[in-house]
Structure 1
């Protein structure tokens, strides 16, 4: 469980969050925060225990951190509870984990089973992380693209626009088409 917390800590630090680890009766808790979001990461031994105990443990943590949540003001509306376990859940457990994520009472929730490595942690935390890869766009012939998309306009007008004709010339071409 500590390994998952450490991997989550690294992902969140790399994502620009301030993080702090604290201890709860049931294990370490990772607190994270940036300018817009705050939250908690909890780890469980398995999906069954997560499903059984997540509400109780999260309520205890929220009670302990209530003053920090109050100081967060508007960020408290963008609070996350991240629940992770390294052991995979069975089909039914995974369906119920989806139900946890749909429970928007108090915080947004991310619940994942089978989080075994840094890639899995990154996938679980994607809603909290900035987009890391810019889209790659191919070079585009803008003139050809404009001609392709302006088939409803008079051809002379489009060619005048593409050849940087004066505003007066373009208006004259528009009037001639009427």
Structure 2
């Protein structure tokens, strides 16, 4: 699987504009929406990620510095994402995890063993909106609301559902 292409697909599906920057090897996937700007870096190995993440981040951020300075509040939401398909050793894994604790220049997401589209989506979850949509179907909304408001006096709920004035509902609640 091509991690960079899959990342661009996931980000586009989440409403981001994406493009590739070929300024220096390796290729970097850039993304942006109304509130976030970011860069996806893909490495051949965990060791390569650990060795090169800082210089690669600095190179990309320096190249885009003019745009970042003019981005206003969005410049506070810059993400650098560092990924590899290789499974890291325990020592390398700890080093990769520490990358995310470095808040200089950008927020960071760093992961190893990214091998499937589901892995890519899981990595990018902090940047993707909630996808779950409740299935309401044909339901008796009044009955559902009453069941959720069981701690509120029944006459107050009835008054509320009957479009009684707010002051009257408040009075009923106050009398309880």
Short-chain TM bin? 0.7 to 0.9
Q: CA deviation at 1:144?
A: 3.9
Structure 1 distance, partners of 2:108, 2:61, is 14
Are residue 142 (structure 1) and residue 145 (structure 2) matched? yes
Structure 1 distance, partners of 2:92, 2:114, is 14
Q: CA deviation at 1:43?
A: 0.5
Q: What SS does the aligned partner of 1:143 have?
A: helix
Residue pair 1:143, 1:162 contacting (<8 A) in 2 also: no
Q: CA deviation at 1:174?
A: 7.6
Structure 1 residue aligned with 2:112: 113
Following TM superposition, the consecutive aligned residue runs of length 4 or more in structure 1 with deviations greater than 6 angstroms are 165-175
Q: CA deviation at 1:170?
A: 7.3
Structure 2 distance, partners of 1:165, 1:76, is 46
Residue pair 2:146, 2:157 contacting (<8 A) in 1 also: no
Are residue 62 (structure 1) and residue 65 (structure 2) matched? no
Structure 2 distance, partners of 1:172, 1:112, is 56
Q: CA deviation at 1:8?
A: 0.8
Q: CA deviation at 1:13?
A: 1.1
Cα gap change, 1:135 to 1:159, in 2 (>3 Å): closer
Residue pair 2:156, 2:172 contacting (<8 A) in 1 also: no
Q: CA deviation at 1:173?
A: 7.1
Aligned residues: 171
- Structure ID, larger Rg: 1
Note the alpha carbon deviations across 1:21-52, whole angstroms, 9 max, x for none.
01243310111111110010001111111111
Structure 2 distance, partners of 1:172, 1:23, is 67
Structure 2 distance, partners of 1:101, 1:20, is 24
Unaligned runs of 5+ in 1: none
The alignment's TM-score, normalised by the length of structure 2, stands at: 0.81
Q: CA deviation at 1:166?
A: 6.7
